[in-house]
Amino acid sequence: MGTRLQGKVAVITGGGGGIGAAAGRIFCEEGARVALVDQSEDAVASAVHEIRQILPGAEVHGHVADLGVEAEADRVIGDVVARLGGVDVLVNNVGIRRYEALADAPWETWDAIIRVNLLSFVSMTRAALPHLRRCGRGSIVNTSSTYAVYGRKGMGAYDATKAGVLAMTRTLAYEEGEHGVRANAVCPGYTRTPFHVRRMGAQAVDELVPPCVLKRWADPSEMAYPMLWLASDEASYVTGATFMIDGGLPA
């Protein structure tokens, strides 16, 4: 066990998914007490179970919530503070995808994806900020995507929300610096999470060579380690930054 997040309470949304669960494990390994938040009861329960198996004694808890509903953020943060006493780190990582060209994407696609990928970041941040400010060294890590920055076809609504996440992160950094809260964004590239394995099938994932310098998919832990650093006091002079964690896209 390390100590890089010793004494800190971290809330991770999308905590039942590939990147969120990996961050939960690595944060626990470094001494954090962790709340994983996810809509899927099964996914969050299995992430918590796995972390406790690997790290007996880890303090990790699951919270089930649909973060596309504004009021859920206050409820979740209230529960975390009641149980763990505060919030030092917020990782806004929840995300959904829609595979539609802009010409075809109905209003419902935009509405659903904006609620989860952008508005949940807003509601969770607003709910957590009083606690992040109070702790004196709060850190927000927002998960965006390389395609917030680069163009492509087919996921325009998703990419627009991810670009919104970068703008929101920069503004947060400006507004919250004086309150001791840092805000940064990570932009994952091709990451081999269960989502993609379910969507494409394991063989198709293995056969697809991502168009990046490293020519391979990332393991979710390769997203979680940069998140760990940004969450920790090691990154105390880093705010408003966008980190491309993409194996060198576009190659």
Ligand X SMILES: NC(=O)c1ccc[n+]([C@@H]2O[C@H](COP(=O)([O-])OP(=O)(O)OC[C@H]3O[C@@H](n4cnc5c(N)ncnc54)[C@H](O)[C@@H]3O)[C@@H](O)[C@H]2O)c1
User: Within positions 167 to 186, which residues make up the interface with ligand X, using CB under 6 A?
Assistant: none
Rounded-to-10 torsion of CA 214, 241, 24, 98: -70
Q: Is 39 in the site for ligand X (CB under 6 A)?
A: yes
Question: Could you give the string, one character per residue 139-168, with x where binding to ligand X holds by CB under 6 A and - elsewhere?
Answer: ----x-x-----------------------
- Placement of tokens 């492509």 in the chain: 152
3-class secondary structure, 62? strand
Per CB under 6 A, the list member of 109, 125, 169, 191 interacting with ligand X is 191
H/E element, 195 = helix 194-200
Q: Is 66 in the site for ligand X (CB under 6 A)?
A: yes
In sign, the C-alpha dihedral spanning 167, 230, 124, 137 is negative
Q: Is 225 in the site for ligand X (CB under 6 A)?
A: no
Per CB under 6 A, the list member of 26, 116, 160, 249 interacting with ligand X is 116
Q: Report the DSSP beta bridge partners of residue 184.
A: 141
Q: Which is nearer to ligand X, 40 or 221 (CB)?
A: 40
C-alpha–C-alpha distance, residues 17 and 227, integer Å: 15
Residues in touch with ligand X (CB under 6 A): 14, 16-20, 38-40, 43, 65-68, 93-96, 116, 143, 145, 188, 190-191, 193-196
